[in-house]
Structure 1
Amino acid sequence: MGAMLGMGAAFMPLQFCAAPKKKEGDLDQPVKSTLSAFGIQLYSVKEDMAVDAQATMRSLAGFGYQQFEGFDGGKGILWGMQPAEFKSLLSEIGTTMVASHANVFENLEAQAAQAAEVGMKYLICPWIGPQKSLDDYKKKANEFNQIGEKLKSFGLRFAYHNHDYTFVNQEGSIPQDILMDNTDPELVDFEMDIYWVHVANAKPAEYLAKYPGRFRLCHLKDAESGTGDPHQRGVLLGAGEIPYADLIKQSKAIGMEYFIVEQERFPSGTPMEAAETNAKYLSALQY
Protein backbone atom coordinates (compact mmCIF):
# COMPACT_ATOMS: atom_id res chain seq x y z
CA MET A 1 0.00 0.00 0.00
CA GLY A 2 2.83 2.36 0.88
CA ALA A 3 4.51 1.59 -2.43
CA MET A 4 1.34 2.37 -4.34
CA LEU A 5 0.95 5.66 -2.51
CA GLY A 6 4.53 6.47 -3.41
CA MET A 7 3.90 5.68 -7.05
CA GLY A 8 0.77 7.77 -7.00
CA ALA A 9 2.65 10.71 -5.64
CA ALA A 10 5.25 10.28 -8.32
CA PHE A 11 2.64 10.58 -11.04
CA MET A 12 0.71 13.41 -9.38
CA PRO A 13 0.18 16.32 -11.78
CA LEU A 14 3.00 18.85 -11.49
CA GLN A 15 0.69 21.72 -10.58
CA PHE A 16 0.01 20.06 -7.24
CA CYS A 17 3.73 19.80 -6.43
CA ALA A 18 4.80 23.27 -7.58
CA ALA A 19 5.67 25.95 -5.02
CA PRO A 20 2.89 28.45 -4.48
CA LYS A 21 3.07 31.48 -6.73
CA LYS A 22 4.10 34.78 -5.20
CA LYS A 23 1.32 37.25 -4.84
CA GLU A 24 1.60 40.78 -6.14
CA GLY A 25 3.58 42.79 -3.62
CA ASP A 26 5.57 39.75 -2.46
CA LEU A 27 8.54 40.60 -4.68
CA ASP A 28 11.96 40.32 -3.07
CA GLN A 29 13.08 43.54 -1.45
CA PRO A 30 16.57 44.76 -2.40
CA VAL A 31 19.18 44.00 0.22
CA LYS A 32 20.42 47.16 1.89
CA SER A 33 23.84 47.83 3.33
CA THR A 34 25.31 49.84 6.16
CA LEU A 35 28.72 51.48 6.30
CA SER A 36 31.28 49.01 7.61
CA ALA A 37 33.48 51.89 8.77
CA PHE A 38 33.28 55.66 8.97
CA GLY A 39 35.43 58.41 10.39
CA ILE A 40 35.40 61.84 11.98
CA GLN A 41 37.36 64.98 11.25
CA LEU A 42 38.90 65.81 14.62
CA TYR A 43 38.26 69.51 14.00
CA SER A 44 34.66 68.67 14.96
CA VAL A 45 35.84 68.34 18.57
CA LYS A 46 38.76 70.75 18.42
CA GLU A 47 38.20 72.16 21.91
CA ASP A 48 38.33 68.69 23.45
CA MET A 49 41.37 67.79 21.37
CA ALA A 50 43.16 70.88 22.67
CA VAL A 51 42.53 69.83 26.28
CA ASP A 52 43.37 66.11 25.98
CA ALA A 53 43.85 64.66 22.51
CA GLN A 54 44.35 61.07 23.64
CA ALA A 55 41.28 60.97 25.88
CA THR A 56 39.18 62.55 23.15
CA MET A 57 40.28 60.02 20.56
CA ARG A 58 39.54 57.15 22.97
CA SER A 59 36.02 58.49 23.53
CA LEU A 60 35.40 58.87 19.79
CA ALA A 61 36.49 55.28 19.22
CA GLY A 62 33.98 54.27 21.89
CA PHE A 63 31.23 56.01 19.90
CA GLY A 64 31.98 53.75 16.92
CA TYR A 65 34.39 55.80 14.83
CA GLN A 66 37.02 53.52 13.31
CA GLN A 67 38.79 56.20 11.28
CA PHE A 68 40.18 59.63 12.10
CA GLU A 69 41.05 62.56 9.91
CA GLY A 70 43.28 65.07 11.64
CA PHE A 71 44.27 68.71 11.41
CA ASP A 72 47.10 70.78 12.77
CA GLY A 73 45.77 72.29 15.96
CA GLY A 74 49.04 74.05 16.75
CA LYS A 75 50.91 70.98 17.95
CA GLY A 76 51.52 69.47 14.52
CA ILE A 77 49.56 66.78 12.72
CA LEU A 78 50.38 64.23 15.47
CA TRP A 79 49.25 66.54 18.28
CA GLY A 80 52.64 66.66 19.94
CA MET A 81 52.99 62.87 20.07
CA GLN A 82 55.90 60.95 18.62
CA PRO A 83 54.97 58.62 15.74
CA ALA A 84 55.50 55.47 17.83
CA GLU A 85 53.30 56.84 20.62
CA PHE A 86 50.63 57.88 18.12
CA LYS A 87 50.62 54.46 16.41
CA SER A 88 50.37 52.73 19.77
CA LEU A 89 47.31 54.79 20.68
CA LEU A 90 45.59 54.00 17.38
CA SER A 91 46.29 50.30 17.82
CA GLU A 92 45.04 50.34 21.40
CA ILE A 93 41.67 51.90 20.51
CA GLY A 94 41.19 50.02 17.22
CA THR A 95 41.28 52.98 14.84
CA THR A 96 43.26 54.15 11.83
CA MET A 97 44.39 57.64 10.93
CA VAL A 98 43.28 57.91 7.33
CA ALA A 99 44.44 61.46 6.64
CA SER A 100 45.21 64.87 8.01
CA HIS A 101 44.39 68.33 6.80
CA ALA A 102 47.64 70.22 6.65
CA ASN A 103 49.39 73.28 5.32
CA VAL A 104 50.84 71.49 2.32
CA PHE A 105 52.60 74.64 1.11
CA GLU A 106 55.11 74.65 3.98
CA ASN A 107 57.29 71.93 5.52
CA LEU A 108 55.68 69.32 3.29
CA GLU A 109 58.44 66.72 3.53
CA ALA A 110 58.55 66.77 7.34
CA GLN A 111 54.78 66.37 7.59
CA ALA A 112 54.78 63.66 4.94
CA ALA A 113 57.42 61.67 6.83
CA GLN A 114 55.33 61.77 10.01
CA ALA A 115 52.13 60.89 8.16
CA ALA A 116 53.76 57.94 6.44
CA GLU A 117 55.26 56.63 9.69
CA VAL A 118 51.85 56.39 11.39
CA GLY A 119 50.17 54.83 8.35
CA MET A 120 48.18 57.74 6.94
CA LYS A 121 47.07 57.49 3.34
CA TYR A 122 46.49 61.20 2.60
CA LEU A 123 47.62 64.71 3.32
CA ILE A 124 44.81 67.07 2.40
CA CYS A 125 44.78 70.76 1.54
CA PRO A 126 41.73 72.15 3.34
CA TRP A 127 41.70 75.71 1.99
CA ILE A 128 43.15 77.85 -0.77
CA GLY A 129 40.65 80.72 -0.55
CA PRO A 130 38.76 82.30 -3.44
CA GLN A 131 41.17 83.03 -6.29
CA LYS A 132 41.04 86.26 -8.30
CA SER A 133 40.90 84.58 -11.70
CA LEU A 134 40.54 81.22 -13.40
CA ASP A 135 44.21 81.45 -14.31
CA ASP A 136 44.99 81.54 -10.61
CA TYR A 137 42.99 78.34 -10.16
CA LYS A 138 45.02 76.77 -12.97
CA LYS A 139 48.19 77.74 -11.14
CA LYS A 140 46.84 76.09 -7.99
CA ALA A 141 46.05 72.96 -9.98
CA ASN A 142 49.66 72.88 -11.17
CA GLU A 143 50.84 73.24 -7.55
CA PHE A 144 48.57 70.36 -6.59
CA ASN A 145 50.22 68.17 -9.22
CA GLN A 146 53.65 69.05 -7.84
CA ILE A 147 52.56 68.33 -4.26
CA GLY A 148 51.05 65.03 -5.35
CA GLU A 149 54.31 64.07 -7.01
CA LYS A 150 56.27 64.82 -3.83
CA LEU A 151 53.87 62.89 -1.61
CA LYS A 152 54.02 59.91 -3.95
CA SER A 153 57.64 59.34 -2.94
CA PHE A 154 56.45 58.93 0.68
CA GLY A 155 53.74 56.45 -0.30
CA LEU A 156 51.04 59.07 0.31
CA ARG A 157 48.26 60.58 -1.76
CA PHE A 158 47.33 64.26 -2.01
CA ALA A 159 43.75 65.53 -1.97
CA TYR A 160 42.00 68.89 -1.99
CA HIS A 161 38.97 69.63 0.21
CA ASN A 162 36.45 72.08 -1.27
CA HIS A 163 34.38 74.86 0.23
CA ASP A 164 31.48 76.64 -1.41
CA TYR A 165 33.50 79.23 -3.33
CA THR A 166 34.87 76.77 -5.91
CA PHE A 167 31.28 75.96 -6.91
CA VAL A 168 30.28 79.57 -7.57
CA ASN A 169 30.35 80.73 -11.19
CA GLN A 170 33.39 82.85 -12.00
CA GLU A 171 34.16 84.23 -15.46
CA GLY A 172 31.57 81.87 -16.92
CA SER A 173 33.10 78.73 -15.40
CA ILE A 174 32.99 76.75 -12.19
CA PRO A 175 36.40 76.98 -10.49
CA GLN A 176 36.11 73.43 -9.18
CA ASP A 177 36.00 72.26 -12.82
CA ILE A 178 39.31 74.03 -13.43
CA LEU A 179 40.89 72.17 -10.52
CA MET A 180 39.45 68.84 -11.64
CA ASP A 181 40.38 69.24 -15.31
CA ASN A 182 43.93 70.49 -14.72
CA THR A 183 45.10 67.96 -12.15
CA ASP A 184 46.56 64.55 -12.87
CA PRO A 185 44.31 61.76 -11.52
CA GLU A 186 47.45 59.75 -10.83
CA LEU A 187 48.64 62.44 -8.41
CA VAL A 188 45.60 64.31 -7.11
CA ASP A 189 42.37 63.11 -5.49
CA PHE A 190 39.56 65.18 -4.04
CA GLU A 191 37.59 65.24 -0.82
CA MET A 192 34.04 66.44 -1.40
CA ASP A 193 32.58 68.42 1.43
CA ILE A 194 29.00 67.57 0.56
CA TYR A 195 27.57 70.31 2.77
CA TRP A 196 29.50 73.07 0.99
CA VAL A 197 28.53 71.77 -2.43
CA HIS A 198 24.89 71.64 -1.35
CA VAL A 199 24.70 75.15 0.14
CA ALA A 200 26.44 76.55 -2.96
CA ASN A 201 23.30 75.41 -4.82
CA ALA A 202 25.25 72.80 -6.74
CA LYS A 203 24.12 69.18 -6.91
CA PRO A 204 26.46 66.77 -5.10
CA ALA A 205 25.03 63.72 -6.90
CA GLU A 206 25.44 65.30 -10.34
CA TYR A 207 28.95 66.50 -9.62
CA LEU A 208 30.07 63.12 -8.33
CA ALA A 209 28.72 61.54 -11.52
CA LYS A 210 30.52 64.13 -13.64
CA TYR A 211 33.91 63.11 -12.20
CA PRO A 212 33.67 59.42 -11.27
CA GLY A 213 36.66 58.12 -9.38
CA ARG A 214 38.11 61.53 -8.54
CA PHE A 215 36.46 61.92 -5.13
CA ARG A 216 37.92 59.32 -2.77
CA LEU A 217 36.95 60.97 0.51
CA CYS A 218 33.99 63.03 1.63
CA HIS A 219 32.80 65.09 4.55
CA LEU A 220 29.34 64.33 5.87
CA LYS A 221 27.43 67.12 7.52
CA ASP A 222 23.80 68.05 7.08
CA ALA A 223 22.07 71.30 6.15
CA GLU A 224 18.72 72.60 7.25
CA SER A 225 16.41 73.75 4.47
CA GLY A 226 16.41 77.38 3.44
CA THR A 227 18.58 79.94 1.75
CA GLY A 228 20.13 81.70 4.72
CA ASP A 229 23.77 82.24 5.61
CA PRO A 230 25.51 79.04 4.43
CA HIS A 231 27.70 79.14 7.53
CA GLN A 232 24.62 78.90 9.74
CA ARG A 233 22.68 76.03 8.18
CA GLY A 234 24.60 73.12 9.68
CA VAL A 235 22.62 70.56 11.67
CA LEU A 236 23.26 67.05 12.94
CA LEU A 237 23.16 64.20 10.44
CA GLY A 238 19.60 63.18 9.67
CA ALA A 239 18.13 66.48 10.83
CA GLY A 240 18.57 68.25 7.49
CA GLU A 241 17.70 67.91 3.84
CA ILE A 242 20.76 66.19 2.33
CA PRO A 243 19.82 62.65 1.13
CA TYR A 244 22.79 60.80 2.57
CA ALA A 245 21.55 57.25 2.00
CA ASP A 246 21.30 57.91 -1.73
CA LEU A 247 24.60 59.80 -1.89
CA ILE A 248 26.52 57.12 -0.03
CA LYS A 249 25.16 54.39 -2.29
CA GLN A 250 25.95 56.37 -5.45
CA SER A 251 29.40 57.54 -4.38
CA LYS A 252 30.56 54.09 -3.23
CA ALA A 253 29.68 52.75 -6.67
CA ILE A 254 32.00 55.25 -8.35
CA GLY A 255 35.03 55.17 -6.12
CA MET A 256 34.33 56.86 -2.77
CA GLU A 257 36.28 55.13 -0.01
CA TYR A 258 36.16 57.28 3.11
CA PHE A 259 33.10 58.80 4.76
CA ILE A 260 34.11 61.32 7.40
CA VAL A 261 31.80 63.22 9.72
CA GLU A 262 32.52 66.90 10.20
CA GLN A 263 30.37 69.06 12.47
CA GLU A 264 31.08 72.77 12.64
CA ARG A 265 27.79 74.13 13.98
CA PHE A 266 26.06 72.85 17.10
CA PRO A 267 22.39 73.85 17.39
CA SER A 268 22.30 72.14 20.79
CA GLY A 269 24.54 70.11 23.04
CA THR A 270 28.32 69.80 23.11
CA PRO A 271 30.63 68.82 20.24
CA MET A 272 31.23 65.41 21.83
CA GLU A 273 27.49 64.84 22.19
CA ALA A 274 27.08 65.75 18.53
CA ALA A 275 29.85 63.33 17.59
CA GLU A 276 28.09 60.52 19.47
CA THR A 277 24.71 61.31 17.87
CA ASN A 278 26.23 61.43 14.39
CA ALA A 279 27.94 58.07 14.95
CA LYS A 280 24.64 56.49 15.98
CA TYR A 281 23.00 57.88 12.85
CA LEU A 282 25.64 56.48 10.51
CA SER A 283 25.73 53.12 12.29
CA ALA A 284 22.00 52.67 11.63
CA LEU A 285 21.82 54.28 8.17
CA GLN A 286 20.87 51.82 5.42
CA TYR A 287 21.52 52.55 1.77
Structure 2
Amino acid sequence: MKKLQTGLILLCAFLSSNCFAQVQPLFTGAIGIQSYTYRNSYPNGVAAVLDSVKALGITEMEGPNPKSSNAAEFKKLLNERNISMPSIGVDYNLIIKDPEAVVKQARFFGATYVMVAWIPHGKTFTLDDANRAIDDFNRVGKVLYDNGITFCYHNHGYEFGSYGDGTLFDHIAERTDPKYVSFEMDVLWAFHGGADPAKLLHKYKDRWKLMHLKDIRKGVANDLTGGTDTKNDVALGTGQINLPEVLKAAKAVGIKHYFIEDESPDHAAQIPVTIAYLKSLKD
Protein backbone atom coordinates (compact mmCIF):
# COMPACT_ATOMS: atom_id res chain seq x y z
CA MET A 1 0.00 0.00 0.00
CA LYS A 2 2.82 2.40 0.89
CA LYS A 3 4.49 1.69 -2.46
CA LEU A 4 1.21 2.42 -4.23
CA GLN A 5 0.74 5.66 -2.33
CA THR A 6 4.33 6.69 -3.06
CA GLY A 7 3.84 5.87 -6.72
CA LEU A 8 0.67 7.94 -6.90
CA ILE A 9 2.39 10.89 -5.22
CA LEU A 10 5.28 10.72 -7.68
CA LEU A 11 2.87 10.44 -10.61
CA CYS A 12 0.89 13.45 -9.44
CA ALA A 13 4.08 15.44 -8.95
CA PHE A 14 5.25 14.46 -12.46
CA LEU A 15 1.95 15.41 -14.07
CA SER A 16 1.81 18.64 -12.13
CA SER A 17 5.30 19.69 -13.16
CA ASN A 18 4.59 18.81 -16.80
CA CYS A 19 1.34 20.76 -16.79
CA PHE A 20 3.14 23.71 -15.23
CA ALA A 21 5.85 23.57 -17.89
CA GLN A 22 3.24 23.62 -20.64
CA VAL A 23 1.71 26.88 -19.48
CA GLN A 24 4.86 28.99 -19.32
CA PRO A 25 4.50 32.28 -21.21
CA LEU A 26 6.04 32.35 -24.67
CA PHE A 27 6.79 36.07 -24.66
CA THR A 28 8.89 37.07 -21.66
CA GLY A 29 10.68 40.17 -22.94
CA ALA A 30 10.06 43.75 -21.93
CA ILE A 31 7.28 45.32 -24.00
CA GLY A 32 8.62 48.11 -26.16
CA ILE A 33 7.09 50.48 -28.69
CA GLN A 34 8.40 52.22 -31.81
CA SER A 35 8.02 55.97 -31.40
CA TYR A 36 6.88 56.28 -35.04
CA THR A 37 3.62 54.62 -33.99
CA TYR A 38 2.57 57.94 -32.44
CA ARG A 39 3.79 60.26 -35.24
CA ASN A 40 0.30 61.74 -35.72
CA SER A 41 -0.43 62.00 -32.00
CA TYR A 42 2.67 63.81 -30.73
CA PRO A 43 1.66 67.24 -32.12
CA ASN A 44 -1.37 67.13 -29.80
CA GLY A 45 0.77 66.66 -26.71
CA VAL A 46 3.94 64.62 -26.19
CA ALA A 47 3.45 64.19 -22.43
CA ALA A 48 -0.08 62.84 -22.92
CA VAL A 49 1.18 60.31 -25.46
CA LEU A 50 3.88 59.09 -23.08
CA ASP A 51 1.35 58.88 -20.27
CA SER A 52 -0.71 56.52 -22.44
CA VAL A 53 2.42 54.52 -23.25
CA LYS A 54 3.22 54.10 -19.56
CA ALA A 55 -0.39 53.15 -18.79
CA LEU A 56 -0.07 50.26 -21.26
CA GLY A 57 2.81 48.83 -19.24
CA ILE A 58 5.37 49.67 -21.93
CA THR A 59 8.85 50.23 -20.52
CA GLU A 60 11.00 50.65 -23.64
CA MET A 61 10.80 52.88 -26.69
CA GLU A 62 12.75 52.93 -29.91
CA GLY A 63 13.29 56.56 -30.80
CA PRO A 64 14.62 59.13 -31.12
CA ASN A 65 12.51 62.14 -30.20
CA PRO A 66 9.60 63.25 -32.43
CA LYS A 67 9.89 66.45 -34.46
CA SER A 68 7.45 68.18 -32.13
CA SER A 69 9.79 67.82 -29.13
CA ASN A 70 13.48 68.54 -28.68
CA ALA A 71 15.78 65.77 -27.48
CA ALA A 72 16.35 67.12 -23.97
CA GLU A 73 12.64 67.64 -23.32
CA PHE A 74 11.75 64.19 -24.67
CA LYS A 75 14.43 62.45 -22.63
CA LYS A 76 13.18 64.19 -19.47
CA LEU A 77 9.61 63.05 -20.15
CA LEU A 78 10.79 59.48 -20.74
CA ASN A 79 12.85 59.44 -17.55
CA GLU A 80 9.91 60.73 -15.51
CA ARG A 81 7.89 57.73 -16.70
CA ASN A 82 10.70 55.16 -16.37
CA ILE A 83 10.71 54.48 -20.11
CA SER A 84 14.16 53.67 -21.48
CA MET A 85 15.39 54.08 -25.05
CA PRO A 86 17.74 51.20 -25.93
CA SER A 87 17.60 51.89 -29.68
CA ILE A 88 17.17 54.81 -32.04
CA GLY A 89 16.34 54.87 -35.74
CA VAL A 90 18.15 57.29 -38.05
CA ASP A 91 18.07 58.25 -41.71
CA TYR A 92 20.43 56.45 -44.08
CA ASN A 93 21.83 59.67 -45.54
CA LEU A 94 22.46 61.12 -42.07
CA ILE A 95 24.45 58.18 -40.80
CA ILE A 96 26.62 57.80 -43.90
CA LYS A 97 27.35 61.54 -43.89
CA ASP A 98 28.04 61.96 -40.17
CA PRO A 99 28.18 58.73 -38.15
CA GLU A 100 29.86 60.57 -35.26
CA ALA A 101 26.78 62.78 -34.88
CA VAL A 102 24.65 59.63 -34.68
CA VAL A 103 26.94 58.24 -32.00
CA LYS A 104 26.44 61.45 -30.01
CA GLN A 105 22.66 61.23 -30.42
CA ALA A 106 22.57 57.58 -29.32
CA ARG A 107 24.70 58.28 -26.28
CA PHE A 108 22.46 61.16 -25.27
CA PHE A 109 19.48 58.82 -25.03
CA GLY A 110 21.48 55.95 -23.56
CA ALA A 111 20.84 53.84 -26.66
CA THR A 112 23.22 50.98 -27.45
CA TYR A 113 21.63 50.20 -30.84
CA VAL A 114 21.16 52.36 -33.93
CA MET A 115 19.02 51.15 -36.80
CA VAL A 116 18.46 52.27 -40.39
CA ALA A 117 15.11 51.22 -41.87
CA TRP A 118 15.36 52.26 -45.50
CA ILE A 119 18.01 52.11 -48.21
CA PRO A 120 17.34 54.85 -50.79
CA HIS A 121 16.60 53.39 -54.22
CA GLY A 122 14.50 53.88 -57.33
CA LYS A 123 11.36 52.06 -58.37
CA THR A 124 13.01 48.71 -57.71
CA PHE A 125 15.81 47.72 -55.34
CA THR A 126 18.83 46.64 -57.37
CA LEU A 127 22.17 44.91 -56.89
CA ASP A 128 23.89 48.29 -57.18
CA ASP A 129 21.70 49.60 -54.35
CA ALA A 130 22.60 46.60 -52.23
CA ASN A 131 26.32 46.89 -52.94
CA ARG A 132 26.32 50.59 -52.07
CA ALA A 133 24.57 49.83 -48.79
CA ILE A 134 27.02 47.01 -48.01
CA ASP A 135 29.98 49.40 -48.32
CA ASP A 136 28.22 52.10 -46.31
CA PHE A 137 27.02 49.74 -43.59
CA ASN A 138 30.47 48.19 -43.09
CA ARG A 139 32.02 51.66 -42.80
CA VAL A 140 29.52 53.28 -40.42
CA GLY A 141 29.05 50.04 -38.51
CA LYS A 142 32.73 50.12 -37.58
CA VAL A 143 32.45 53.72 -36.36
CA LEU A 144 29.53 52.77 -34.13
CA TYR A 145 31.24 49.57 -32.95
CA ASP A 146 34.34 51.53 -31.94
CA ASN A 147 32.03 53.68 -29.80
CA GLY A 148 30.27 50.76 -28.10
CA ILE A 149 27.12 50.92 -30.23
CA THR A 150 25.64 48.18 -32.44
CA PHE A 151 24.48 49.13 -35.94
CA CYS A 152 21.39 47.29 -37.24
CA TYR A 153 19.78 47.30 -40.65
CA HIS A 154 15.99 46.96 -40.47
CA ASN A 155 14.58 44.92 -43.37
CA HIS A 156 11.78 46.53 -45.36
CA GLY A 157 10.60 43.92 -47.83
CA TYR A 158 12.15 45.11 -51.08
CA GLU A 159 15.43 43.25 -50.28
CA PHE A 160 13.85 39.84 -50.86
CA GLY A 161 14.00 39.99 -54.64
CA SER A 162 15.86 37.06 -56.20
CA TYR A 163 19.62 37.19 -56.57
CA GLY A 164 21.89 34.23 -57.28
CA ASP A 165 20.80 31.25 -55.23
CA GLY A 166 18.94 33.45 -52.75
CA THR A 167 17.85 37.06 -52.36
CA LEU A 168 19.41 40.50 -52.21
CA PHE A 169 18.92 40.34 -48.45
CA ASP A 170 21.09 37.22 -48.41
CA HIS A 171 23.68 39.13 -50.41
CA ILE A 172 23.65 41.98 -47.87
CA ALA A 173 23.91 39.56 -44.95
CA GLU A 174 26.76 37.61 -46.54
CA ARG A 175 28.79 40.67 -47.59
CA THR A 176 28.46 42.77 -44.44
CA ASP A 177 30.87 42.18 -41.56
CA PRO A 178 29.05 40.48 -38.66
CA LYS A 179 31.31 42.36 -36.27
CA TYR A 180 29.97 45.70 -37.47
CA VAL A 181 26.54 45.01 -38.99
CA SER A 182 23.59 43.36 -37.26
CA PHE A 183 19.89 43.32 -38.13
CA GLU A 184 16.49 44.32 -36.80
CA MET A 185 13.71 42.01 -37.94
CA ASP A 186 10.53 43.79 -39.00
CA VAL A 187 8.14 40.85 -39.02
CA LEU A 188 5.53 42.45 -41.29
CA TRP A 189 8.00 43.64 -43.92
CA ALA A 190 9.86 40.33 -44.01
CA PHE A 191 6.58 38.49 -44.57
CA HIS A 192 5.27 41.06 -47.06
CA GLY A 193 8.47 40.72 -49.08
CA GLY A 194 7.90 36.99 -49.40
CA ALA A 195 10.27 35.74 -46.69
CA ASP A 196 9.44 33.37 -43.85
CA PRO A 197 10.31 35.45 -40.74
CA ALA A 198 10.97 32.46 -38.46
CA LYS A 199 13.20 30.71 -40.99
CA LEU A 200 15.03 33.95 -41.69
CA LEU A 201 15.75 34.40 -37.99
CA HIS A 202 17.26 30.92 -37.79
CA LYS A 203 19.22 31.35 -41.05
CA TYR A 204 21.12 34.35 -39.66
CA LYS A 205 20.73 33.47 -36.01
CA ASP A 206 23.79 35.39 -34.80
CA ARG A 207 22.91 38.62 -36.61
CA TRP A 208 19.44 39.53 -35.30
CA LYS A 209 19.37 41.83 -32.25
CA LEU A 210 16.06 43.74 -32.39
CA MET A 211 12.50 43.11 -33.58
CA HIS A 212 9.48 45.10 -34.73
CA LEU A 213 6.32 43.24 -33.76
CA LYS A 214 3.67 43.73 -36.45
CA ASP A 215 0.96 41.80 -38.28
CA ILE A 216 -0.62 42.31 -41.70
CA ARG A 217 -4.26 42.14 -42.63
CA LYS A 218 -5.56 38.86 -44.04
CA GLY A 219 -5.87 38.84 -47.81
CA VAL A 220 -3.10 41.39 -48.50
CA ALA A 221 -0.81 40.01 -51.19
CA ASN A 222 2.98 39.99 -50.86
CA ASP A 223 5.16 42.16 -53.09
CA LEU A 224 8.60 43.81 -53.22
CA THR A 225 7.51 47.44 -52.94
CA GLY A 226 8.37 47.84 -49.26
CA GLY A 227 5.03 49.57 -48.79
CA THR A 228 1.38 48.88 -48.05
CA ASP A 229 -1.61 50.90 -46.84
CA THR A 230 -1.20 51.70 -43.14
CA LYS A 231 -4.71 50.29 -42.59
CA ASN A 232 -3.18 46.89 -43.34
CA ASP A 233 -1.30 47.04 -40.03
CA VAL A 234 -3.49 45.02 -37.66
CA ALA A 235 -3.28 43.89 -34.04
CA LEU A 236 -1.01 40.92 -33.46
CA GLY A 237 -2.78 37.62 -33.86
CA THR A 238 -5.51 38.97 -36.15
CA GLY A 239 -3.53 38.91 -39.40
CA GLN A 240 -1.64 36.48 -41.59
CA ILE A 241 1.61 35.92 -39.71
CA ASN A 242 2.33 32.87 -37.57
CA LEU A 243 3.52 34.92 -34.61
CA PRO A 244 3.98 32.07 -32.09
CA GLU A 245 6.43 30.48 -34.54
CA VAL A 246 8.22 33.82 -35.03
CA LEU A 247 8.48 34.48 -31.30
CA LYS A 248 9.83 30.99 -30.62
CA ALA A 249 12.51 31.62 -33.24
CA ALA A 250 13.21 35.07 -31.79
CA LYS A 251 13.70 33.58 -28.34
CA ALA A 252 15.96 30.87 -29.76
CA VAL A 253 18.26 33.35 -31.52
CA GLY A 254 18.36 35.77 -28.58
CA ILE A 255 16.54 38.89 -29.72
CA LYS A 256 17.47 41.63 -27.24
CA HIS A 257 14.60 44.12 -27.57
CA TYR A 258 11.08 43.92 -29.00
CA PHE A 259 9.19 46.98 -30.21
CA ILE A 260 5.53 47.02 -31.20
CA GLU A 261 5.13 49.17 -34.29
CA ASP A 262 1.58 49.87 -35.38
CA GLU A 263 1.34 52.31 -38.28
CA SER A 264 -2.44 52.04 -38.45
CA PRO A 265 -4.72 55.03 -37.75
CA ASP A 266 -6.44 52.60 -35.34
CA HIS A 267 -3.30 51.97 -33.29
CA ALA A 268 -4.84 53.28 -30.05
CA ALA A 269 -7.48 50.55 -30.18
CA GLN A 270 -5.16 47.88 -31.57
CA ILE A 271 -2.17 48.13 -29.25
CA PRO A 272 -4.03 46.89 -26.14
CA VAL A 273 -5.20 43.91 -28.22
CA THR A 274 -1.62 43.30 -29.32
CA ILE A 275 -0.32 43.40 -25.75
CA ALA A 276 -3.06 41.07 -24.51
CA TYR A 277 -2.23 38.66 -27.33
CA LEU A 278 1.48 38.65 -26.44
CA LYS A 279 0.68 37.95 -22.81
CA SER A 280 -1.73 35.14 -23.75
CA LEU A 281 0.82 33.08 -25.69
CA LYS A 282 2.11 29.95 -24.01
CA ASP A 283 5.32 28.08 -24.70
TM-score by length of 2: 0.83
In the alignment, is the contact (CA less than 8 A) between 1:43 and 1:71 conserved in 2? no
In the alignment, is the contact (CA less than 8 A) between 1:99 and 1:124 conserved in 2? yes
Write the distance in 2 (CA, Å) between the matches of 1:52 and 1:194. 30
Q: Quick one: structure 1 residues 86 and 46, their matched pair in 2 at CA, closer, same or farther if it must change by over 3 Å?
A: closer
Give the CA deviation at 1:218.
Answer: 1.0
Write the distance in 1 (CA, Å) between the matches of 2:76 and 2:196. 41
State the AA in 1 paired with 2:203. Answer: K
TM-score by length of 1: 0.82
Write the distance in 2 (CA, Å) between the matches of 1:36 and 1:198. 22
Give the CA deviation at 1:243.
Answer: 2.0
State the AA in 1 paired with 2:79. Answer: S
The match for 1:111 is 102
The match for 1:9 is none
Counterpart among 50, 65, 79 of residue 91 in structure 1: 79
Q: Unaligned regions of 5+ residues in structure 1, if any?
A: 1-12
Alignment of 1:1-287 (within 5 A): 15-20=3-8, 22=11, 26=15, 28-29=18-19, 30-31=21-22, 32-33=24-25, 34-71=27-64, 73-74=66-67, 79-82=69-72, 85-103=73-91, 104-130=95-121, 133-170=126-163, 173-228=166-221, 231-232=228-229, 233-266=232-265, 270-287=266-283
Give the CA deviation at 1:172.
Answer: 5.8
Give CA deviations for 1:38-88 in whole Å, capped at 9, x if unaligned.
21111111111233223212221211111101256446xxx4132xx4443
Write the distance in 2 (CA, Å) between the matches of 1:91 and 1:242. 34
The structure whose residues are more often helix, as a share, is 2
Write the distance in 1 (CA, Å) between the matches of 2:161 and 2:101. 34
In the alignment, is the contact (CA less than 8 A) between 2:65 and 2:74 conserved in 1? no
Write the distance in 1 (CA, Å) between the matches of 2:147 and 2:198. 33
Q: Quick one: structure 1 residues 116 and 71, their matched pair in 2 at CA, closer, same or farther if it must change by over 3 Å?
A: closer
In the alignment, is the contact (CA less than 8 A) between 1:38 and 1:66 conserved in 2? yes
Q: Quick one: structure 1 residues 172 and 151, their matched pair in 2 at CA, closer, same or farther if it must change by over 3 Å?
A: same
Q: Quick one: structure 1 residues 284 and 15, their matched pair in 2 at CA, closer, same or farther if it must change by over 3 Å?
A: closer
Give the CA deviation at 1:37.
Answer: 0.7
Give the CA deviation at 1:18.
Answer: 2.7
Give the CA deviation at 1:137.
Answer: 1.1
CA RMSD, 1 decimal: 2.6
In the alignment, is the contact (CA less than 8 A) between 1:220 and 1:262 conserved in 2? yes
Q: Quick one: structure 1 residues 189 and 50, their matched pair in 2 at CA, closer, same or farther if it must change by over 3 Å?
A: farther
Q: Quick one: structure 1 residues 173 and 246, their matched pair in 2 at CA, closer, same or farther if it must change by over 3 Å?
A: closer
State the AA in 1 paired with 2:270. Answer: A
- Aligned-partner SS, 1:43: helix
Q: Quick one: structure 1 residues 58 and 154, their matched pair in 2 at CA, closer, same or farther if it must change by over 3 Å?
A: farther
Write the distance in 1 (CA, Å) between the matches of 2:65 and 2:222. 27
Write the distance in 2 (CA, Å) between the matches of 1:161 and 1:16. 59
Give the CA deviation at 1:208.
Answer: 1.0
State the AA in 2 paired with 1:236. Answer: A
The match for 1:5 is none
Write the distance in 2 (CA, Å) between the matches of 1:137 and 1:177. 10
Give the CA deviation at 1:90.
Answer: 2.5
Give the CA deviation at 1:144.
Answer: 0.5
State the AA in 2 paired with 1:260. Answer: F
Range that drifts further, 277-286 or 251-260:
277-286
Following TM superposition, the consecutive aligned residue runs of length 4 or more in structure 1 with deviations greater than 6 angstroms are none
Give the CA deviation at 1:108.
Answer: 2.9
